[in-house]
Chains A and B, each alone.
Chain A
Amino acid sequence: MSEDTVTRSAGAGPEVSAQEPRRSTLLRLRERLSGLTVFLVFVLAVVWFASQSPTFLTVDNVRIILLQSSVLGVAAVGATMALIGGRLDISQGAVISVIGVLVATFSAGGMNPYLAIAISLAAGAALGAVNGLLSEAFVIPAFIATLGTALILRGAAQVYTQGQSVALGSEGAEVWRALGLGRVGPVPVSVVIMVIVFGVAWFVMRRTAWGMRTYAVGSSARASRVAGVRVRRHRIQLFVAAGALSALAGVLLAARLGSGAPNNGQGAEFDIFAAVVLGGTSLFGGRGGIPRTFLGIVFLATLSNGLVITNVSSFYQGIVTGTVLLGALALDRLRARSVNDDE
């Protein structure tokens, strides 16, 4: 009898509508679950490491994990925004090292640290604009465009420094020390900065028109254009944001290390993508989120910290990280297919 009523009410609308709610909840559930899978694995990893080592779940070690997350975390926010908008920036590692060298050079030359930081962030934004122009105005695929700039930037840093690291100067040393090693209460300054960056980015992506349009552009650039969104300009802005955030990461890294070097941040882009993808942001644009990336970045830092603390040889780190990443990617593909399976 109840079945009868269902059929009849479905008959009133177009025939597909009867299945709509059920299908969408199923999809949603699957989406939630896959986010949850990563979280569950994360919790399991924490429990495992805690059971293996009494020092793992101490305030000091958690602080170390967060500190290790902070540099890549800041850069990963930029990567997440760009990916949601449908663009890939693989020059982030190179920007981190170039800006590190730049800010150290400024500091060594006696420049006021705040001014040096401001110029460096602006330089990062400018590098992002170059990536954006190459990708959107010259229509070079973003992967190639940013690969090209990455090679040039890292090469330039090596030429300029002759492969040596550049130490920060004594001018404003207390600022650098605070940025690199200082704390607000129990929390390291760079962790505070990372949390602020994540918070602002989350707000921008979910509460502003610009953020909403980023999702739209990543979901369908053509539809967005026809609907009156300036797609190219928007994507250039995404590259600028990614560049500026990479620069901030470069500054934080230089402050922590006390120097800038052309090899700092080498390969950082791979860790960044691993974290972003682990968080569940789609490589195809339009889906993902800032909080997810936070989970991804902390997860990766926890993995490498935990492996060290439980005396697993560091040689195994890549294997573990890669396995976790591939698992996450496989989930992403499955999800993408389930969304498009009526095609």
Chain B
Amino acid sequence: MTTPSAVLRDEDQPGRRAQPGDLGQTQNSHPALEASGITKSFSGVQALRGVSLVVARGEIVGLAGANGAGKSTLVNIITGVLPPDGGTVKVAGRDVRLNSVQDAQRSGIGTVRQELDLVPALSVAENIFLGDETRFTRFGVLDVASMRSAASALLARVGLGLLATELVASLSIGDRQLVAAARALRDAASVLILDEPTSSLSPFESQRLYDVIRRLSAAGVGVVFISHRLPEVAEICDRVVVMRDGLVAAEFPAERERMAEVVDVMVPGVTGATDRSRSADPGEVVLRLNGVAAAGKSSTDLTVRAGEIVGLFGLVGSGRSTIGRAVAGIVPLDSGTMALRGRPYAPKSPADGFRRGVAYLSEDRRGESVLPGLTVSENLALRLPQQTSRWGLVRFDRVRDLVRRSMTKFKIRASSPSTSIDTLSGGNQQKVLLARLLAEELSVLVLDEPTHGIDVSAKRELLRTLDQFTEQGLAVLMISSDVPELITSADRILVVRDGRVHEEFSWQDSDERTLMSAATGGTER
């Protein structure tokens, strides 16, 4: 809608970058990182459509974008995790071919990832030089002393005053993050990629990390900083590059006042027309959460009524899934209470939840939903035996009947019920899984990213079926990061941030800007 997808060229760079006339004089005059025309597709889906990103020496560039915009793919390519389909990467003016993470590291691209990939059982020094110990070996024997002193030098660079011999297991999360940064710097990195580095840090620890980033930037290291939290991006970065649909959609100076515009670009403006067949008056309250806290996330209240779809919107890591998983009995509550149709509800396991009529569809389709290697019919009828068998015997006539009906009703496209589930597309797998849950009488259905990674037509069919069941009195809690989907299907949308429902919007009052602002804290002081 707004800015045309500008490809960032050298000429567009702000001040600090070396002037064109300087090019080629010294190595220092080159940008720290220069990725141009990067393309990548996954099984036919174009994830990156010619992305260019230039980071000058000493510059801190924020990379923003909604889930699925292509940020992770770009980072994975720059850090050697994935090979690009096309495009080039230059580090300090030199072309680099990145076939592995090691390649990237040796070429001067250091990475600090969201999930800490340190080995807890090894010491700080051993972690920093893991995979590269040979530089300290003579005739295969490790020179421990020189490895330690090299590690200490790197620790000093990130301002971490601890012994290189300490075990990583004994460090705080914040210290570990800095150890990861020290490791990223070990091969004289010209550019440092930080992928959601603060997602598990306390505000104090984040500040400490910012100090380190600023210090490195002052020393000439180019930094790419990826974060969902826009205030943080505004604080630490010089410039924000916003991605959308596999392209660089816009860029802004990283100023607090401009963050609203960033949100505008992240999620394009107007919502599609909503055609709602469902009647808008929900029934009694079916599910009530009072101060529910689980998995270390702070406590929250919420209610879901019969015949109502309540959307739960939040960014990855906001704790929205934890709420759903607590309702389903997968994670135990730390504190708080739940009530189902006015009666206390404290499921000890998913099986407990099902007995009370609460079902959950996981966002992790491969890991937590599909039974790989088994047939469509076996996947669909997994829960059915509990209903249809007498003396534990499976009534195959009824199973066949159910499977046939479900395949029609949910529009499952499979060559036959005895096809292996592995051969189905994601959308059809998801329909099978939804049919599995809706085969029995439910009070509450919790859906976690139900349409993630499935094609548009399957998505529409899935949501339509869901609408029908809701019309009949089902209470639905739908966790999603897909704003248009929430606005078209949910009655109310709750925005979750830091494990807590922060704001509630009716679907009429929701638009993507409002939700995204509430979720990122972008509008807050």
Which residues of A pack against B, CB within 8 Å? 13-17, 20-21, 23-24, 27-28, 207-210, 212-213, 215-216, 219-220, 222-230, 286-287, 339-340, 342
Contacts and interface: CB of A to CB of B under 8 A. Distances in A.
B369 A207 contact: no
B56 to A, nearest CB: 39
A219 B374 contact: yes
A301 B428 CA distance: 46
30 contacts: A14-B457, A16-B425, A17-B425, A17-B428, A20-B425, A24-B415, A24-B420, A24-B423, A27-B420, A27-B423, A207-B393, A208-B385, A208-B389, A208-B392, A209-B393, A209-B394, A212-B394, A213-B385, A215-B371, A216-B371, A216-B374, A220-B372, A225-B350, A226-B368, A226-B369, A228-B351, A228-B359, A229-B351, A339-B420, A340-B372
Nearest to B361: A226
A212 B425 contact: no
B383 interface: yes
Contact of A216 (B44, B378, B415, B424): B378
Contacts of B268: none
B291 to A, nearest CB: 25
Given A17-B425, A207-B393, A222 B367 contact: yes
Contacts of A228: 350-351, 353-355, 359, 383
B445 to A, nearest CB: 13
Given A24-B419, A24-B423, A212 B382 contact: yes
Contact of B371 (A14, A15, A223): A223
A209 B374 contact: no
Contacts of B422: 339, 342
A220 B366 CA distance: 9
Nearest to B457: A14
B389 A339 contact: no
B11 to A, nearest CB: 40
Interface residues of B toward A: which range? 35 or more
Contacts of A24: 415, 419-420, 423
B393 A17 contact: no
B373 interface: yes
B77 to A, nearest CB: 20
Chain A interface, DSSP helix/strand/loop, else mixed: helix
A212 B388 CA distance: 13
Interface in B331-366: 349-351, 353-355, 359-360, 362
A209 B389 contact: yes
Contact of A14 (B367, B372, B385, B413): B413
Interface in B392-421: 392-394, 396, 413-415, 419-420
Contacts of A207: 393-394, 396
Nearest to B392: A208
B382 A229 contact: yes
Given A207-B394, A228-B383, A287 B373 contact: yes
Contacts of B373: 219, 286-287, 339
A216 B368 CA distance: 12
Interface string B38-60: 00000010000000000000000
B413 A17 contact: yes
Contacts of B385: 208-209, 212-213
B349 A225 contact: yes
B413 A219 contact: no
Contacts of A287: 373
B439 to A, nearest CB: 11
Q: Which 4 A-B pairs have the closest CB atoms?
A: A209-B385, A228-B354, A21-B415, A219-B371
A24 B415 CA distance: 9
A223 B379 CA distance: 10
A187 B247 CA distance: 75
Contacts of B436: 227
Contacts of A21: 415, 419
